A = this chain, B = another copy of it.
Amino acid sequence: MASTDEVLTLASVQEAHKLIKPFIHLTPVLTSSYINTLASTPQTAESLSQTQWSGHPPAKPVLRIHFKCENFQRIGAFKARGAFHAIERLKQSPDFDPARGVVTHSSGNHAQALSLAARESNIPAYIVMPTISNPSKVSATRGYGAQITFSGPTAPEREAAAQKIIDEKGAVLIPPYDHPHIIAGQGTAALELLSQVPRPLDAIITPCGGGGLLSGTALACSESKTKVFGAEPEFEGADDGKRGYYSGRRIESVKSLTIGDGLRTPVGRIPWGIIYERRLVDGMFSVTEGEIKQAMRLVFERLKVVVEPSAVVGLAVALFNEEFRRVVEREGGEEGWDLGVVFSGGNVDLGALGGLFGGE
């Protein structure tokens, strides 16, 4: 596809926003004085992990956090933005025959997002899912009108199943993050966030899985002074983006069962170009599973909104990552930072939550 070589800029995100505005929600931005106070309070030695605590006094950043609530987005996650943008761009292409449909291999939010976006344009959507997929995700995706094809669990098996549909139906593949239209679409959340907060944001932090949201956010901020950071779970190597960023080489495979299940994938090639090669992201940070759970608890109990574990890694960095907190302390000074934190989604079921928090 020629389109994947498109050079993406702020204008790409702005144009994407014009196209998708009729289809998406302008999601709210929430704040919590309680969480701001907590984030601006030094963590005690006990609350810092052994590796972070090295005799320095804990950081004293001043943080005013602005939560962009993509958990309230259509299908419950920012993925609706990229999917609607990809579909609108396809419809503009003279070569595209809507009857042939679109296809993807995903069992998560992208599958639902693509199914919804395709349905609203009367385009068939074919979704390849591993047979071991959570039945509630299968039925949710089917609920958006998609045709599900089951495959084996490995990437080659899923790709082969998708290829078969491409060959047979002539369907167009819309991957979950490694595509310029998807990236430009995901960047629109940050574009909105910048305009929704009355003062300029010093920084935005987003979760990083395949890197679509992070790289789109970086494009959205590329002509402003707003810094952009990525957040990942560190469990079982899910911090591939961070490790790649600081070693200068993209890590191409990840096998982690972090509770941040949207973040178990390696950063894609095109996102990597934006995040690392073009230096549009200012830093990457990681957090532990326990820190993710603590952040989730805070969001549930204080903000009263439902978020999935992947969604809170940015908040967990702001609360618990001493490296990040030292950056804010140093660069923000007494004034501190206005920090945008993107809650990427809210698709978690109560049974799973029970499993995470039931023993407490």
**A304 & B304 in contact (Cβ 8 Å cutoff):** no
A302 nearest CB neighbor, chain B only: B76
Bound complex: CA of A360 vs CA of B349, how far in Å? 10
Q: Mark A317-355, 1 if CB is under 8 A from B, else 0.
A: 000000000000000000000000000001001110111
User: What number of copies of this chain does the assembly contain?
Assistant: 2
Q: Find chain B residues with CB under 8 A from A351 CB.
A: 357-360
Q: Find chain B residues with CB under 8 A from A355 CB.
A: 354, 358
Does A155 sit within 8 A of B, measured CB to CB? no
Q: Find chain B residues with CB under 8 A from A353 CB.
A: 350, 353-354, 357
Bound complex: CA of A360 vs CA of B358, how far in Å? 12
Does A300 sit within 8 A of B, measured CB to CB? yes
Q: How large is the interface on A (under 10, 10 to 19, 20 to 34, 35 or more residues)?
A: 20 to 34
Which of A296, A301, A355, A356 has the largest count of B CB atoms less than 10 A from its CB?
A301
- In the assembled complex, the CB of A193 is this many whole angstroms from the nearest CB of chain B, namely 18
Q: Find chain B residues with CB under 8 A from A350 CB.
A: 296-297, 300-301, 353, 356-357, 360
Does A109 sit within 8 A of B, measured CB to CB? no
Bound complex: CA of A72 vs CA of B304, how far in Å? 7
A residues within 8 Å of B by Cβ? 71-72, 76, 296-297, 300-301, 304-307, 346, 349-351, 353-360
Known: A351-B358, A354-B357. 15 other contacts (CB 8 A): A296-B350, A300-B350, A301-B306, A301-B350, A304-B307, A304-B346, A350-B356, A351-B359, A351-B360, A353-B354, A354-B356, A354-B358, A354-B360, A355-B358, A358-B358
